[in-house]
Chain A
Amino acid sequence: MIDFIWLVIALPLFGAVGLLFFGKRIGEPNSGRIGSALVVLSFFIALVAALPAFAGTLEPENVLLFEWLPALGVNVSLLWDPLSAMMTLIVTGVGALIHIYGTGYMHGDSRFPRFFTYLNLFIASMLILVLGDSFATMFVGWELVGLSSYLLISFWFEKPSAAAAGKKAFIVNRIGDFGFLIGLMIIFATFGSLSYSTVFANANILETGGATVTAITLLLLVGAVGKSAQLPLSVWLPDAMEGPTPVSALIHAATMVTAGVYMIARSAALFSIAPVSSGVVATVGALTALFAAVVAIGQRDIKRVLAYSTISQLGYMFMAVGATAYVAGVFHLMTHAFFKALLFLGAGAVIHGMHGEQDMWKMGGLRKKMPITFVTMLVAWMAISGIPPFAGFWSKDEILAITYGKGGAWVVLWAIGIVTAGLTAFYMSRLMFLTFWGKPRWDDGLEPHESPRSMTLPLAVLAVFAAGAGLINTPFRLSLEHFLDPVFEVIKVAHPPEGSTPWILAGVSVLVALGGIAYAYRRYIKRALPVEEGPRWDFLEEGFGVDELYGRTIVLPGKAVAESAAFTADARGIDGLVNGVGGAVKKLADAATRLQTGQVRSYGTGMFLGTVALILWLLVRGGAF
């Protein structure tokens, strides 16, 4: 019935291929329009296909496209169920908006068509990731989004920092993929298949909390940690901000980085029977959330604040899926997609209006110059800070409530979450106050301006969702939960505690958030701007020096090992041995040439010597002596 779902992937893929070859000929505005139109189209196709899901009548359906690796039983086939439908809608929906935004933002770039080639490629890859019906296809999408991310981060490759950031992102992701891949090996060795249907339907055969399932889930987690920039593989995401801002919004905030959460939610059948792994997931999430929130406070670059904020919010999602609150995790994934995309696009608009300036200390007072951007950012600010009734409040509080409700050590995680919520409110307020309030601190001669319609329109649309999307899953009306029911029906999904507890918890978190905002207000508006300089702030800005730590402990020793392998072990050791053998043979030959005197009579002597010896030997052998 929904066989046509392949079109959702095919359209952006077609766009990517077409624009790759003909983009230059199509030229600037049109190539962007084609790219955007294809994604919009694919959004509407997905919407049509998802209609049964809204009605609650969607039966999960597999669409076989073609056989791929028969020896592993892997096919290229798609799974259309509420979870993938929801992810598809987010990806194509937010993706479409960001495409449209991109036509304005990338205006005048010499490689404008190429930008849309890559964006379309990304959409297609991300859809493969979410629509695939096996771990193998997920892995394919997983790697392909890594490729698009690489291409887009280093889009401005003439800038060495951009090129380096792209490379770093890909390599760090590959470290995660390494774990993922080993996870796949164990899955195949265990189930003899990589398809979701086989694996999940048989997951219950595995011993709960047993070594196999724990190993599988922990290895999958490694993959998720890499893709979703959780500790300890979080280092690539802040650098990824070197890419154009729409890319940061789409890939490094709304969609790709949430793939880890999607993967864990998709593998809920496995994670739900691996309590240890789930605990690890939640712990990683909580620690990352706190860590990134603290680091975000020290950032001066507006995009880096948002990057750390993304890491932090992803931490919440990990906390949720770790607490087996898969619906809550996915819910936060969705609301976060809206408000974080909005924040990034808003930040992009600011940067665009400021002619490329990204340092918040050189902004200020922009709310009058960019009213639309300001208003939409305001919505996003409220949403991420968790102020009701904006979207972020509902999803974040559901996570916190569930974590608290699990009791025991989970309360510690809840506490971390609450602290993070306060920090989030604080650093977001700091961003807003520094950017939009106060006196202008622009460089001389800078004329900030509002962005064109193509950029503000997506902002407005996203603002609507950032404000209202939370309402789909409130304690009053659990639409999303019902929507996702078919996906998690056999799994025990954690729910918020009953009674008044959630309300008290919500009150606490709102209070904390308001406290954060209030403190920021005092610090950045009421008083003269504080001086945030010095070694401590630098240390904070550098993310506690994690990058440098890795550089010293992994990269440099690794390089030293490689160099000693290449220039000592290989060149001198192995090849030295080879050449040594060659040299020894040559020496032997040189020694042998001494016998070659050139004197024919010496040769004669040798010949007769041989003759005598031969006759002697024959005689002795014949028994003469």
Chain B
Amino acid sequence: MFPVLAFLVGLPVLAAIAIVLIPKSRSELLLPVAFGLSLLPLAVAGYMVWTFDTAGGFQWVESIIWMERLRIGWTVGVDGISLFLVALTAFLFPISILASAKISDRLRGYLVSLFILETGVLGVFIALDLVLFFVFFEIVLIPMFFMIGIWGSSNRKYAAIKFFVYTAFGSAFLLASIIALAVNAGPVLQTVSFQWNDLAQVPMTSAAQTWLFFGFAIAFAIKVPLFPLHTWLPDAHTEAPTAGSVLLAGVLLKMGTYGFIRFNLTLFPEATVKYGKWLALVAVIGIVYAALVATVQPDIKRLVAYSSVSHLGFIVLGTFALTLSSVQGGLIQMVNHGLSTGALFLLIGMIYERTHTRKIADYGGLASTMPIFSGFFLLAVFASIGLPGLNGFIGEFMVLIGSWQTFPVLTVVAASGVVLSAIYVLWAYERVFTGPPGKANKDLEDLNSREIAILVPIAVLIVFLGVYPKPVLDRMENDVNAVISRIEQSTNYERPTFDLEGRLTVDVGVPEQGESPSGEGSE
């Protein structure tokens, strides 16, 4: 079988090499070539989405053990949980490259960083070997560090170092936990193994689960980021170049939420059931707190950054609520947040190129001078606050409806985020776009065709996923079900049932929640 995933991850590396090989005298070719090459992984990802078997399970699995004694190797695969994160990654990179047309300083290095970043992110989402996962997890740090540190704005060094140290701090916990996990499972497996498949079958004592659960959780919580570990994000976002912000919000943060589902939920079911509520609590605090903080931010990029923290809280809440709808909602919210927040950062980048300011107070009345821009902005803004018909609603709605049964109080508090998000977003929109245009903003040019071309694909997806999310949800459903079923099998946790279940006289029309439809759940 053709190694699709190796090909997918290898393509950006090849692209980076190709970029290096372009002679200095032909540097005008850099961007077009990079853009063209970045479409290749997208094509592969598109093929994967198209041919993905909705029955679920890992597909396109490749497994080559490299160190037999430690069972470390190239083991990769994609299931319904990672499929759309892979697709989102492949989708956002061409867009980021297009959005970088104004970068002139060390463009070659910039593009190489982007491609290495893409390899790292794709690798994180497909790795089924914990060491491999960790390697990719760390690879991502380096290009991002340079993107913020070299191509960022005024306070970039501080932000880059903060970003790096924060995440490296989390990674230390991750590495220690991975090793402890493998060693701990050694006696049962009769060998040390870093294979996800092996480890997922090993029963663990609750003490071990607790320690490892929190070890993984700290690393992922920093990446997500969860309150109170979030302060690197606003700085990183504010200082990063546009593409950096887009990718940071779009895919890098998802590595944390993905990690929660892939590792915490699957490997430590007992601890998940026991301690999930604490993470949900932190997530909900984050939702409200970050929304409040966002309200009064004077810098538009910081505002969006805080809104990210708030939105990601929903994902984590849904993940630990452990119902089909909530986990699935969290998962699709990852994609949706990537699109809508990505679009917002792109838009902010475009206006920054024109005005060279990010201060909300410096804007005003842009809707009259830049109608197309404001139209796109409005779309992205409403997608991000979860307006039905746009993608943001799907995830938020599923998470909230699904989480109520597990965490009623937390969910109510989380739902107040719906109000708060409307407040900060619309207030910012009001200050930036409405009113009479100020002197400085009178002669701004509206978006040119390149910029529109960047935004249209995102806008189309935003609307499409909002109206017809079924293709996406179908591909996720069985694997999400499998994750929850695993937890049910290995702990005394049971999916909440409905108050009136069994007494209803009219069919409810919901797929049976107790069992996974395809029987995928168990081995």
Query: Do A and B touch directly, given a CB cutoff of 8 Å in the complex?
Result: yes
A residues sitting closer than 8 Å to B (CB atoms) are 66-73, 136, 139-141, 143-144, 147, 150, 154, 157-160, 162-164, 167, 170-171, 174-175, 177-178, 181-182, 184-186, 188-195, 197-198, 201-202, 205-206, 212, 559, 561-563, 565-567, 569-570, 574-575, 578, 582
Contacts of A201 in B (CB 8 A): 505-506
Contacts of B17 in A (CB 8 A): none
Is the beta-carbon distance between A190 and B473 smaller than 8 angstroms?
no
A-B contact pairs, 10 of them (CB 8 A): A70-B477, A71-B328, A73-B510, A167-B430, A178-B415, A190-B499, A192-B498, A194-B401, A202-B500, A582-B162
User: Which single residue of chain A is at the shortest CB-CB distance from B289?
Assistant: A565
Nearest CB to that of B436 among chain A residues?
Answer: A158
C-alpha spacing A569/B367, complex, angstroms:
34
Complex: how many Å from CA A193 to CA B473?
Answer: 18
Identify A177's interface contact among B165, B412, B418, CB under 8 A. B418
In the complex, the 8 A-B pairs of residues with the closest C-beta atoms, listed nearest first: A163-B434, A192-B498, A73-B510, A185-B404, A140-B388, A157-B434, A201-B506, A71-B325
User: What residues of chain A lie closer than 8 Å to B292, measured between beta carbons?
Assistant: 561-562, 565-566
Shortest CB-to-CB span from B441 to chain A, Å, is 12
- Pair B509/A193 contact, Cβ less than 8 Å: yes
Contacts of A561 on B, CB cut-off 8 Å?
A: 292
Closest to B504 in A: A202
Interface pick from B74-82, B94-102, B420-428? B420-428
Distance in Å from the Cβ of B415 to the closest Cβ of chain A?
5
- The reply to whether the CB of B470 lies closer than 8 angstroms to some CB of chain A is yes
Q: Is the beta-carbon distance between A182 and B496 smaller than 8 angstroms?
A: no
B170 to chain A, nearest CB (A): 13
B residues bordering A, Cβ < 8 Å? 162, 165-166, 228, 230-232, 289, 292-297, 324-325, 328-329, 365, 367-368, 382, 387-389, 393-394, 397-398, 400-402, 404-405, 408, 411-412, 415-416, 418-419, 422-423, 426-427, 429-430, 433-436, 468-470, 473-474, 477, 496-501, 503-511
Inside 8 A of A570's CB, which chain B residues have their CB?
A: 231, 293
Chain B residues closer than 8 Å to A565, beta-carbon distance:
289, 292-293
Q: How far is the CA of A569 from the CA of B286 in the complex (A)?
A: 13
Which of these, A71, A147, A174, A190, contacts B419 with CB under 8 Å?
Answer: A174
Whether the Cβ atoms of B434 and A154 lie closer than 8 Å is: yes
Smallest CB separation, B232 vs chain A (Å): 8
With beta carbons under 8 angstroms apart, the residue of B418, B429, B433 that contacts A181 is B418
Q: Which of B295, B365, B389, B434 touches A140 (beta carbons < 8 Å)?
A: B389
**Bound Cα distance A158, B365 (Å):** 7
Nearest chain A residue, comparing its CB with the CB of B326:
A71
Residues of A within 8 A of B404 (CB): 182, 185-186, 188-189
**Structural contact, B415 and A181, CB atoms closer than 8 A:** yes
Complex Cα gap A195–B427 (Å): 35
B contact residues around A174 at 8 Å (CB): 418-419, 422
Assess whether A566 is in contact with B293, with CB atoms less than 8 Å apart.
yes
A170 touches B415 (CB 8 A): no
The CA-CA distance from A414 to B69 in the complex, in Å, is 85
Residue pair B505, A205 in contact (C-beta under 8 Å): yes
Task: Please indicate the chain B residues that have their CB under 8 angstroms from the CB of A72 in the complex.
Answer: 325, 397-398, 401-402, 510
Given A140-B389, A201-B506, are A71 and B231 also a contact pair (CB < 8 Å)? no
Assembled-state Cα–Cα distance A212/B499 (Å): 10
A521 to chain B, nearest CB (A): 43
- Of the candidates A147, A178, A195, A206, which one forms a contact with B509 in the assembled complex, judged by CB atoms under 8 Å apart? A195
Please tell me if the beta carbons of B328 and A67 are within 8 angstroms of each other in the complex: no
Is there contact, CB below 8 Å, between A178 and B416? yes
Q: Are A575 and B231 in contact (CB under 8 A)?
A: yes
**Would B398 and A69 count as touching, CB distance under 8 A?**
yes
CA–CA, A68 and B325, complex, Å? 13
B401 touches A563 (CB 8 A): no
A190 close to B498 (CB less than 8 A): yes
A150 to B429, CA, bound (A): 12
Contacts of B397 in A (CB 8 A): 69, 72, 136, 139
Contact status B415-A182, CB under 8 Å: yes
Separation in Å of the A270 CB from the closest CB of chain B? 13
B367 — nearest CB in chain A belongs to which residue? A157
Bound-state CA distance A177–B400 (Å) is 13
A328 CB, nearest partner CB in chain B, Å: 28
**Complex interface: chain A residues within 8 A of B400 (CB):** 181, 185
Question: Contact check: which of B328, B470, B505 meets A68 at CB < 8 Å?
Answer: B470
Extra pairs beyond A157-B433, A566-B292 (4, CB < 8 Å): A178-B416, A181-B415, A191-B508, A202-B505
Contact B498 A71 (CB under 8 A): no
- A566-B367 contact in complex given A185-B401, A582-B165, C-beta closer than 8 Å: no
Residues of B close to A70: CB separation below 8 A: 470, 473-474, 477, 511
Residues of B within 8 A of A562 (CB): 292-293, 295-296
Q: Which residue of B lies closest to A175 (CB)?
A: B419
Contact yes or no, A71 B434, CB < 8 A: no
Bound Cα distance from A227 to B426, whole angstroms: 18
Is the Cβ of B423 less than 8 Å from the Cβ of A578? no
Shortest distance from the beta carbon of B179 to any chain A beta carbon, whole Å? 24
Whether B401 pairs with A184 at a CB distance below 8 angstroms is yes
Tell me, in angstroms, the Cα distance from A138 to B310 when the chains sit together: 26
CA of A70 to CA of B476 in the docked complex: distance in angstroms? Answer: 11
Chain B residue contacts of A205, Cβ below 8 A: 500, 503-505
How near does chain A come to B372, taking the closest CB pair, in angstroms? 11
- Pairwise interchain contact B231-A144, C-beta atoms closer than 8 A: no
Give chain B residues whose Cβ lies under 8 Å from the Cβ of A574: 228, 230-231
Which residues of chain B are near A158, meaning CB under 8 Å? 365, 368, 434-436
* Central interface residue in A185, A198, A575, by most chain B CB within 10 Å: A185
Partner of A69, one of B427, B435, B469: B469
Partner of A197, one of B393, B419, B506: B506
Contacts of B367 in A (CB 8 A): 157
Q: How far is the CB of A12 from chain B (nearest CB, A)?
A: 14
Q: Are the C-beta atoms of A192 and B477 separated by less than 8 Å?
A: no
Docked Cα-Cα span, A198 to B505, in Å, equals: 8
How close is B165's CB to chain A, nearest CB, in angstroms?
7
A9 → B minimal CB distance (Å): 12
Contacts of B411 in A (CB 8 A): 182, 185
Tell whether, in the assembled complex, residue B511 and residue A73 are in contact, meaning their CB atoms are under 8 Å apart: yes
Given A178-B416, A182-B412, A185-B404, also A192-B501 (CB < 8 A): yes
Residue in A171, A561, A569 whose Cβ sees the most chain B Cβ within 10 Å: A171
Across the interface, which residues of A come within 8 angstroms of B499, CB to CB?
189-191, 212
Contacts of B508 in A (CB 8 A): 73, 191-193, 198
In the bound assembly, the distance between CA atoms of A73 and B328 in angstroms comes to 13
Contacts of A159 in B (CB 8 A): 435
Residue of A139, A141, A157, A162 with highest tally of chain B CB at under 10 A: A157
Contacts of B402 in A (CB 8 A): 71-72
A66 touches B468 (CB 8 A): yes
Smallest CB gap from A137: residue in B: B388
Q: Which residues of A contact B504 (CB under 8 A)?
A: 191-192, 198, 202, 205
* Whole-angstrom CA separation of A446 from B270 in the bound complex: 79
Chain A nearest CB, measured from B261 CB (Å): 15
If the complex has contacts A70-B477, A73-B510, A574-B228, are A144 and B496 also in contact, measured as CB distance less than 8 A? Answer: no
CB distance from A278 to the nearest CB of B (A): 22
* Best-buried of A68, A71, A162, A194 by chain B (most CB within 10 Å): A71
| A160 and B470 contact, CB distance less than 8 A | no
Are B511 and A71 in touch, CB under 8 angstroms? yes
**In the bound complex, how far is the Cα of B165 from the Cα of A578, in angstroms?**
11
Cα–Cα distance between A171 and B428 once the two chains are bound (Å): 13
User: For the complex, what is the distance from the CA of A300 to the CA of B292, rounded to whole Å?
Assistant: 37
**Other-chain contact of A139, B388, B416, B435, B498 (Cβ < 8 Å):** B388
In the complex, residue of chain B having the shortest beta-carbon distance to the beta carbon of A134 = B509
B497: chain A residues within 8 A (beta carbon): 192
Residues of B near A68 (CB, < 8 A) are: 468-470
> Which of A72, A147, A154 has the most C-beta atoms of chain B within 10 angstroms of its own C-beta?
A72
> When chains A and B are docked, how far (Å) is the Cα of A189 from the Cα of B508?
12
Give min CB distance, B424 to chain A, whole Å: 8
List the A side residues contacting B398 at CB < 8 Å. 69, 71-72
B363 CB, min distance to chain A CBs, angstroms: 13
